[in-house]
């Protein structure tokens, strides 16, 4: 199973959906899957305000009022979080990907910002995250200083827009199953179960055939 997840670390809906994604994978006991993270840095036009607390506006999927109601219900703490620049966090995300540590890195960055209230635009915070998951410190430091993955970050978003993905979070499973919205753990499990059932193979006359 191929799972792709477009996100920005500033987006509380991305945080909630990612958390549900991790729980769904664990509860289903998925083993044979590939998880790819895609950078999607938001800009000011994607922000709405609730008493001076900006959140990400998912145009066309949820109205601003719906987003605010969802966050007030599921994650009211978002109101306490300051806006930060996420470019450096995305730089290290691409380094983590090259070191097969993408899931560990993205999980810890989201936790650091949304649960621990850390400033993920701070190089020291990011270097501590890199060290914790086993990325070489000097390589991580060099990545932050040179911003050597900026082309990949830009390309991730350009490719998303080319594919018609203009909202985050965006979950894509096996290319053709696309979801532009907050997904609960049960909804994600349902998506995975449907895909797995469609991919089942049966033995017939000594050969394997797709349903």
pLDDT tens-digit series, residues 66-112 = 888 888 899 998 888 888 899 999 999 999 999 999 999 999 999 99
Alpha helices in the chain (DSSP H): 12-28, 64-74, 87-98, 102-114, 123-133, 137-146, 150-162, 185-198
Cα separation, 164 vs 25, whole angstroms: 26
Q: Are 99 and 92 in contact (CB under 8 A)?
A: no
41, HSE (Cβ side, Cα atoms, 13 Å) = 16
Pick the CATH number of 2-210 from 2.120.10.90, 3.40.30.10, 3.40.50.2030, 3.30.70.1150: 3.40.30.10
| Mean pLDDT value across residues 1-12 | 94
The total of other beta-carbon atoms located within 10 Å of residue 118's CB is 18
Q: For the whole model, what pTM was predicted?
A: 0.87
pLDDT tens-digit series, residues 149-203 = 999 999 999 999 999 998 889 999 999 999 988 999 999 999 999 998 887 643 3
Domain boundaries, given as residue ranges, for the chain: 2-210
Q: Tell me, what's the pLDDT at 207?
A: 39
210 — pLDDT class (breaks 50, 70, 90): very low
């Amino acid at each position: 199973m191929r799972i792709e997840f477009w996100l920005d670390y500033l987006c509380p809906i991305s945080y909630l959906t990612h958390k549900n994604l991790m729980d769904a994978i664990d509860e289903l006991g998925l083993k044979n899957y590939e998880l790819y993270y895609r950078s999607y840095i938001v800009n000011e036009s994607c922000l709405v305000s609730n008493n001076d607390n900006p959140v990400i506006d998912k145009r066309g999927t949820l109205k601003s009022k719906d987003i605010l109601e969802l966050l007030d219900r599921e994650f009211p703490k978002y109101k306490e979080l300051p806006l930060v620049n996420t470019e450096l966090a995305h730089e290290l995300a691409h380094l983590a990907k090259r070191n097969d540590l993408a899931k560990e890195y993205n999980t810890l960055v989201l936790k650091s910002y949304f649960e621990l209230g850390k400033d993920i635009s701070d190089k020291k915070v990011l270097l501590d995250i890199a060290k914790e998951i086993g990325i070489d410190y000097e390589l991580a430091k060099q990545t932050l200083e040179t911003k050597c993955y900026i082309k990949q970050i830009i390309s991730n978003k350009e490719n998303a827009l080319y594919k018609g993905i203009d909202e985050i979070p965006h979950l894509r499973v096996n290319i053709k199953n696309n979801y532009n919205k907050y997904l609960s753990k049960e909804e994600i499990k349902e998506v995975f179960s449907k895909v797995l059932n469609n991919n089942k193979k049966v033995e017939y006359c000594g050969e394997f055939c797709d349903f």
